[in-house]
Structure 1
Amino acid sequence: MSDAPQIRNLFIRRPVFSAVISIVIVLLGLFSLTRLAVESYPPLTPPEIQVQAVYPGATAQDVADAVAAPIEQQLSGMQGLLYFKSSNSSDGVMNLSVYFDISRDPDLAAVDVQNQVALAQPQLPQEVVRNGITVRKRQTAFLVVLALSSDDPRYDTEYLNNYAKIYIDDELKRLPGVGDASTFGQLDFSMLLSLDPDRMAQLGLTVSDVAAAVQEQNATNPAGRIGREPAPPGTQLTIPVITSGRLKEASDFERIIVRGRPDGSLVHLSDIGDAHLGARNYDLAGRFDGAPTALTPVFLRPGANALQVKQEVVARMGELAKNFPPGVHWTIAFDTTPYVTESIKEVVKTLFEALLLVTLVVFIFLQSWRATLIPVVAVPVSVIGAFFGMQVLGFSVNLLTLFGLVLAIGIVVDDAIVVIENVERIMEQEGVPPAVAADKAMHQVSRALIAIVLVLCSVFIPVAFLGGITGLMYKQFAITIAVSVVLSGIVALTLTPALCAVLLRPVPEGAPVVVESGVLARAFNRFFGGFNRGFRSVTERYLGAAGRVIDRPRTFFAAFAVAVALLLVLVRAVPSGFIPSEDKGYFGMLVELPDNASRQRTEAVVKQVESFLKAQPAVNHVVALVGLNFIQNANQTNAAIMFVMLKPWEKRSAAKDQLPAVLGAVNGYLFQLQQTRGFAFNLPEIIGLGTTAGLELNLQDRGVNDVTRFAGLTGEFAADANALPTLRGVYPTIRVNTPQLFVQVDREKVKALGISLSELFQTMQASLSTLYINDFNRYGKTYRVQAEAQARFRQTPEDIGRLYVRGPNQQMVPVSALTRTEFRAGPSVITRFNGFTSALVVGAPAPGKSSGEMLAAVERLAQDKYAARGIGYAFSGQSYQERASGGQGGLVFALGLVMVFLVLAAQYESWSIPFAVLLGVPFGTLGALLGVWLRGMANDVYVQIGLIVVVGLAAKNAILIVEFANELRAQGRSIREAALEAGRERLRPILMTSFAFILGVTPLLTSSGAGAASRHSIGTGVFFGMLVATLVGVFFIPLFFASIRSLSERGLVGRRAGAVVPPTVALPAEGD
């Protein structure tokens, strides 16, 4: 029989089996990677249901009172409702947005809103109900904006707009992954009946006569069938009977008979006006790079692959373009995918840089290419295998999951290093073969590896149960790391010992062999010989310092208390934040002219701004939506929203071409424009999470009860907020001095003459606005038939008096005889938030200030100065989510500590030993917050995510010492000797793994380009956290173990149930 030691470990005896396990993990990961969606963030926007209603001719106040208020009264109490807000504009349109918790199913939320709107319909004006109330899920994941243009003057924007709606929109909506595609504006075809009020009065006709005639003669008139059953026996044929149905051409509408005269002659529509194919509404216009354009926004369906969907959109547009009329072209005017592509590419680049740096650290410590190869093989297995877990869990490839993988590289390499270092130590000290050393090493460290995996998972997995947007962000990041950690544990228990047995060679201590011979070998040996001598010296000094720390517990526990106190100070000193503001390669602008400025005036100013922007070296393209106030979600002829695409990041490396500098230059230019106000702003980091990346505060009228006084207080609030050092660019959106022409109807005179009030108001509405009569069909679509007065009859206030209504004796009465007019000031848009009249206030943090400081400052201002004056407040958008997430970071941190404690208590069957591990965590937290504070950053979501990692890794370092010290204590060593010996034996793997992680995250600190702010935020916390946790923790962990184990064995804290405790060796008193 052979005297060779028996190999007990299955995976060392069967290396092929071990390799197959890892190969299967990699194959599953690679297969899953091809099926995962790619996006910048997972779906994080709360479901938004949009309700739109139209009250033609109504003022903003009329819409707010008669339409918005009845609907809003029905909304409160719905499941998962966060808040709702409405915008009511002077064009008669109400846009109501209802927001739900992110856990709410959007389809069910839409059904709930539809039901509540149905309950309010009996209270709404009939004209509103007749025009239709739309309830739909709003798609918020903005992908691209397509521009359709033509160099042929025959194809104007009206033609292009309708061409896109007929031939492009539906084609794009049918693509998998596209959530919505709707061409901007309301230039849909409409049959416009332009009436001559003077001629109508001469003929004794009213708008009601015209509407009745159109409804009668432009209708579908089914007649039935000849020979239908039941029929007489022998009937051979069944023939459908057709009649003239809806009219199609303008000439058909002009031949409509409005009235028959007593002499037998007829009055046709052409006698009192004309009909022509026009547009439903001309108040909105799109522009791209200075030219009128039809713009089609394309939205991404939740969970779809942004890059793949864009490719499909481009491919489909290429096919459709083959059938475009000559001279019609398309292009991508606005694109969010470059930021997705570049930011993910930068993180992937960081991923490889981290792998290289980790490999370098491992190579320096292990000093053997064979030993280095083992973790280099193990790391990709854990990282690639994580993609399989991501697919099973429904995750996507996004910034959060990729950040998790970057940090996982430094984490998962630890398990392999612990095994390799232990195997090499046994080979050097005992002179046994690699297979035997690997078998013995696994017997020693398997329990520690399992403990490390359990502790790290106990830190990360509970995060999955948190709710809200921040909970989802934590979940995507933490669970990705947890999956990698579990796979790392599997690899460390299977593949790593097998590779150690196969690849490692016995090497005498202090004599590293990197290459076999030659000059390179001598150079490496000299370097590593010096490194080893230096490390042995560091180890001896460490033992001396650690011994002194253990011997002076009072002094160093006092130092620990000071560190905890400093940590508490930093918790309050470091400002809070949400998501760092990024240079996404684009930004938004709002341009406003004086109240009631026409669209033509607004478009002229937009042209000036476009010229300025195109002259900027950093600007690539400019998209303008004229007639839309994006901030208030209202159509206003005096407003325009602009989106500016910047050149690629690599082409604008100069400071003046970075987003903050560009925003400053643009805002400076807007400030100088005469009779124009506006501002440029960064869009939210998560598209759809509000309108701007800064402040969104809704001031509410909770006791003022006067819109003019409320507007004055809002302006005063904005001025006070601008004076605060934490804010800049505070901008109130409410305007109540819009000139309005008030028509005072003499109701007594109207009734005395027997005239219908509804007839009077309908006449004004049809003449000054449009009257929707019914529909006609064209190009396979259904369009509106609308009546309006000819343009020359609606230019001045006097034109109102030239309108006529009919009395009971068929006499035509001029409206001027029944009314008087006067100019008044009033709001052009009335916004409401949670049922109260409101004013949206937007702004941004001052340079060097965080969003948390900004929100806290405006809250104090609102509570201290304005609450008593009848002003309430509520946040919306990104500001709401930041406030709602307050305390989540602390909850995550506390939950992680509790779970680590419970897992360790179960692992060691002791309530006291876990404290020796957890007491090292404050050092990591202190380092993380200190680094964030020194770099002038905020304690945002990414920093808090990093703190979770620091907790896990700091606990892991402590476990390596505590686990070994417990074993030595069980062997009969004294507490002090066990603590110091464990520190000495575990110092090398601790420093190796910690510095591997620290260098692995260094690229996050130094990165630039797309998404750099997020990388800096998460990298700063974990870098400084682990640096302090390692350099300070290795001295304090032996002290914590010795003190707690001593107390435990004295029975003061709690002892392991049923354990046999070796004779206690008391700690020396301080100074002994």
Structure 2
Amino acid sequence: VGFSQDKSTDIRRLLDDLQNSVLIAVLLVFVVILWALGFRASSMIGLAIPTSFLMGILWLSLAGLTVNIVVLFSLILAVGMLVDDAIIVAEFAERRMEEGVPPPLAYTMAAKRMAGPVFAATATRVAAFSPLLFWPGVVGEFMKYMPITLIATLSASLIFSLLFTPTLGSLFGRPPKRETTRTDGLYMRIVGRAVDHPKTVLAITVVLLVAVPQIYARFGNGVIFFPEVEPDYGLVHVHARGNLSLEEKNLAVGAVEKRLLGMPELKRVYTRVGEQKGGGGDVAEDVVGVIQFEMVDWRERRPAKAVLEEIRARTADMPGLEVEPRKPQAGPPTGKPLQIRLSAADPDKLPAAAAKVAELFGRHPEIVDVDDARPLPGIDWRLEVKRSEVAKYGVSIGTVGAAVQLVTNGLKLTEYRPADSTDSVDIVLRFPPERRTLATLDELRVNGPNGAVPIGNVMERKPAPRVGRLDRVDGERVLTVSANLREGVQATDVQEAVTKELAGVDLGPGVRWKLKGEDEERRKASAFLGKAFGTALFLIFAVLLAQFGRFTSVALVLSAVVFSTIGVFLGLLAQDLSFSVVMSGIGIIALAGVVVNNNIVLIDTFDRLMAEGWEKRAAALETCRERARPVVLTAVTAILGVLPIAFGVNPDLIARETTIGAPSTQWWIHLSGAIVFGLAFATVLTLVVTPSALMVFTRRRRPKSADLAVAATPPSS
């Protein structure tokens, strides 16, 4: 006894891979903070991860949500951010203890001094992810677990950093044993030159902001809706036209099946012959059978695209049949990648328009598996009751209908439920198969008050073109011409070429066309993510304005978010990846919440030094000297959390093996890559460009003590 279409093994492997990625992320982050801050401080900071995980998962449980692959990846993404707040507090306390302050007082000072920046940093991250909670549609239902998980765990990390970290530090903290030597290294020399030429640094950054997206648009891999994920199964749609019996369909599909069975990549093959009910609009009307096959483990076979190409080659010479190999879509179901929906008030004009669109598709070699959605050739017999003759012979219309059912689908008499079943069985009366013909229909007689009447006297039979399926949108008949693309072809490139050609094609008076399918979903997702990004920036702006009280400081922090997109596009070029509307878009929004954290701490320290009376250049250099370590630590921990997934690496500590390119990582490569490369570039911006911007946009302000002295001096008479 075996299990067919068993998905439990794949789901278990997917969850195991993500759970292992969580463990790897935690270990990498802990090793970094252990190296940078020592055992005592890193132990206290490291407790933020399991504590925040437990509190966040508890809140998810109270909300009635379960753990799934999105929740697990959200935990991986959160690992590097959960320690940021604790690092800021502990690092400040470490510096005070290096200056001779006792641990209890040092951690108390850290909690008080860093409460504002820590709260603002967490609030900005929560503000960045909050708009994703309102994502509509199927994609929103799939991705909503990410903002919920991140908001829950980040809120828990804020509580830990401001309550638990000072308490644990007061009890177990010790002054560092190493001697502190404050020397100007390579970084300080670079910053010194940057603040001496701030306008040049800013000009170079602006040029990169304009140039890098243009370079990607020309040399990059284009735009996709969802990332391509290696599937574990595939489908083969067998198309055939004509009035085929079930036996003929079975022979046709069976011939295709035989050509597939010899392939070593296929583990199991399932075949369904006949009308494909429940397939939705994505199953063409001329499909006579669907073959579904399971593939062996991805590590033991060729990629799925190579398998599908071989299936296409093996079945290319089958006369009368069109074989369409398909792989399941990674994201929400959108149908074939290229779809043109035709609509018209007059439905008779649609078939000719569909033929023209299909002919246009056929001129492009990169377009395959064209379905023009026109009905199959054939005749439908329309039966019309002659009401005047029915009244003349005194025959009821119900009697005529019952007689017709004897020749067609049968006349339902009653229902019967067997003792061993919970479902009822219909008892249907109809003629035997050899008698279900048009000749029998013409021979039928119906009873009337004056005897039996030939059915032809009260009913007329007329031939009509076969209709098939009827689709209406806003009250109008529509036909959707759809097609697949060859492997490696971007849908956006083909759509652009096809739309230009369609603009010059006369489809007939009153016929309109519109791009549908993946293009429509991509546009919806792009529109929402654009609004979400704008909303996130506004919420971050409000938090920062409350924190700093000056538009200049807020603008500097938000500019880092915009400039960080340079790193995102550089990462796509370096990894030779396409820009995924969903995953890369979410990555940019997540990046907005992470990037502002370091700039908040940096600008807050600069403002404090300026208020104490420091000269502007000296304040900028001292800010970099004081905050370089926590800025680098928080960036490195956030990067390390998702670094393995960004490069498709999945080390398994338990099995002692490492896999590269596993399907579990392919889901998240675009999102992780956006964070890794975007944050790495943003860290350089924070440590070099932000001090330069402070030199340009900060006005010299007198210290508060001087203001108080002037206010206390009586005016001279």
Q: TM-score, normalised by structure 2?
A: 0.85
Residue of structure 2 aligned with 1:792, choices 419, 422, 434: 434
Cα drift, residue 966 of structure 1: 0.8
Checking the alignment, whether the CA contact within 8 Å between 2:639 and 2:676 is kept in structure 1 is: yes
Alignment correspondent of 1:357: 28
Paired letter, 2:549: E
Spell out, residue by residue over 1:433-458, the C-alpha distance to the aligned partner (whole angstroms, 9 max, x if none).
43343333334333322221222222
Residue of structure 2 aligned with 1:660, choices 295, 305, 319: 305
Spell out, residue by residue over 1:473-504, the C-alpha distance to the aligned partner (whole angstroms, 9 max, x if none).
55421232222222112111222233334444
Spell out, residue by residue over 1:230-272, the C-alpha distance to the aligned partner (whole angstroms, 9 max, x if none).
xxxxxxxxxxxxxxxxxxxxxxxxxxxxxxxxxxxxxxxxxxx
Alignment correspondent of 2:358: 718
Q: How far apart, CA to CA, are the structure 2 residues paired with 1:420 and 1:915?
A: 28
Checking the alignment, whether the CA contact within 8 Å between 2:129 and 2:151 is kept in structure 1 is: yes
Residue of structure 2 aligned with 1:610, choices 257, 260, 266: 257
Residue of structure 1 aligned with 2:55, choices 357, 381, 385: 385
Alignment correspondent of 2:267: 620
Q: How far apart, CA to CA, are the structure 1 residues paired with 2:481 and 2:323?
A: 13
Q: How far apart, CA to CA, are the structure 2 residues paired with 1:576 and 1:811?
A: 71
Cα drift, residue 360 of structure 1: 2.5
Residue of structure 1 aligned with 2:168, choices 499, 523, 526: 499
Q: Say which SS state the counterpart of residue 47 (structure 2) adopts.
A: helix
Q: How far apart, CA to CA, are the structure 2 residues paired with 1:420 and 1:974?
A: 28
Q: How far apart, CA to CA, are the structure 2 residues paired with 1:805 and 1:962?
A: 94
Alignment correspondent of 1:920: 560
2:235 is aligned with 1:588: yes
Spell out, residue by residue over 1:283-310, the C-alpha distance to the aligned partner (whole angstroms, 9 max, x if none).
xxxxxxxxxxxxxxxxxxxxxxxxxxxx
Cα drift, residue 983 of structure 1: 1.0
2:365 is aligned with 1:731: no
Checking the alignment, whether the CA contact within 8 Å between 2:358 and 2:481 is kept in structure 1 is: yes
2:419 is aligned with 1:771: no
Using a 3 Å threshold, how does the CA distance of structure 1 residues 918 and 883 change in structure 2: closer, same or farther? closer
Cα drift, residue 968 of structure 1: 0.7
Q: How far apart, CA to CA, are the structure 1 residues paired with 2:284 and 2:561?
A: 55
Paired letter, 1:788: R
Alignment correspondent of 1:561: 206
RMSD, aligned CA: 3.7
Alignment correspondent of 2:610: 969
Spell out, residue by residue over 1:608-662, the C-alpha distance to the aligned partner (whole angstroms, 9 max, x if none).
3333333322222233332233254889796223332223334x3x3x2x22222
Cα drift, residue 969 of structure 1: 0.7
Matches within 5 A, 1:824-903: 825-851=465-491, 865=505, 869-873=509-513, 880-903=520-543
Alignment correspondent of 1:639: 288
Q: How far apart, CA to CA, are the structure 2 residues paired with 1:488 and 1:913?
A: 26
Spell out, residue by residue over 1:144-175, the C-alpha distance to the aligned partner (whole angstroms, 9 max, x if none).
xxxxxxxxxxxxxxxxxxxxxxxxxxxxxxxx
Cα drift, residue 820 of structure 1: 7.7
Residue of structure 1 aligned with 2:673, choices 1020, 1023, 1042: 1020
Paired letter, 1:1004: I
Cα drift, residue 732 of structure 1: 1.3
Residue of structure 2 aligned with 1:548, choices 193, 199, 203: 193
2:295 is aligned with 1:649: no
Using a 3 Å threshold, how does the CA distance of structure 1 residues 356 and 849 change in structure 2: closer, same or farther? farther
Spell out, residue by residue over 1:349-406, the C-alpha distance to the aligned partner (whole angstroms, 9 max, x if none).
211111122122223323x333332222221111232112223444332232222211
Checking the alignment, whether the CA contact within 8 Å between 1:631 and 1:691 is kept in structure 2 is: no
Q: How far apart, CA to CA, are the structure 1 residues paired with 2:191 and 2:312?
A: 58
Larger fraction in strand:
1
Checking the alignment, whether the CA contact within 8 Å between 2:241 and 2:376 is kept in structure 1 is: no
Paired letter, 1:355: V
Checking the alignment, whether the CA contact within 8 Å between 1:684 and 1:878 is kept in structure 2 is: no
Residue of structure 2 aligned with 1:783, choices 425, 443, 467: 425
Matches within 5 A, 1:305-320: none
Q: Percent identity?
A: 23
2:627 is aligned with 1:986: yes
Checking the alignment, whether the CA contact within 8 Å between 2:415 and 2:427 is kept in structure 1 is: yes
Q: Say which SS state the counterpart of residue 685 (structure 1) adopts.
A: coil
Using a 3 Å threshold, how does the CA distance of structure 1 residues 1043 and 633 change in structure 2: closer, same or farther? closer
Spell out, residue by residue over 1:698-741, the C-alpha distance to the aligned partner (whole angstroms, 9 max, x if none).
623315531xx52343233234235558x633421524342226
Cα drift, residue 411 of structure 1: 0.9
Paired letter, 2:433: A
2:54 is aligned with 1:344: no
Q: Say which SS state the counterpart of residue 1011 (structure 1) adopts.
A: helix
Paired letter, 1:1038: P
Q: How far apart, CA to CA, are the structure 1 residues paired with 2:674 and 2:287?
A: 47
Checking the alignment, whether the CA contact within 8 Å between 2:284 and 2:373 is kept in structure 1 is: no
Q: Which has the higher contact order (CA 8 A, sep 6+)?
A: 2
2:341 is aligned with 1:699: yes
Cα drift, residue 955 of structure 1: 0.9
Checking the alignment, whether the CA contact within 8 Å between 1:700 and 1:836 is kept in structure 2 is: no
Q: How far apart, CA to CA, are the structure 2 residues paired with 1:890 and 1:633?
A: 29
The alignment of Structure 1 onto Structure 2 pairs a total of residues equal to: 690
Using a 3 Å threshold, how does the CA distance of structure 1 residues 753 and 972 change in structure 2: closer, same or farther? closer
Checking the alignment, whether the CA contact within 8 Å between 1:358 and 1:996 is kept in structure 2 is: yes
Paired letter, 2:242: D
Residue of structure 2 aligned with 1:1031, choices 676, 684, 689: 684
Paired letter, 1:710: L
Q: How far apart, CA to CA, are the structure 2 residues paired with 1:873 and 1:341?
A: 44
Paired letter, 2:107: A
Paired letter, 1:549: A
Paired letter, 2:90: I
Q: Say which SS state the counterpart of residue 621 (structure 1) adopts.
A: strand
Q: Say which SS state the counterpart of residue 551 (structure 2) adopts.
A: coil
Cα drift, residue 964 of structure 1: 0.8
Larger fraction in helix:
2
Checking the alignment, whether the CA contact within 8 Å between 1:578 and 1:940 is kept in structure 2 is: yes
Paired letter, 1:487: A
Alignment correspondent of 1:453: 122
Moved more, 802-811 or 584-593: 802-811
**Larger radius of gyration, structure 1 or 2?**
1
Using a 3 Å threshold, how does the CA distance of structure 1 residues 691 and 565 change in structure 2: closer, same or farther? closer
Alignment correspondent of 1:410: 80
Alignment correspondent of 2:653: none
2:106 is aligned with 1:437: yes
Paired letter, 1:739: G
Q: How far apart, CA to CA, are the structure 2 residues paired with 1:818 and 1:459?
A: 69
Alignment correspondent of 2:451: 810
Q: How far apart, CA to CA, are the structure 1 residues paired with 2:68 and 2:358?
A: 37
Paired letter, 2:528: Q
Unaligned runs of 5+ in 2: 649-660, 711-717
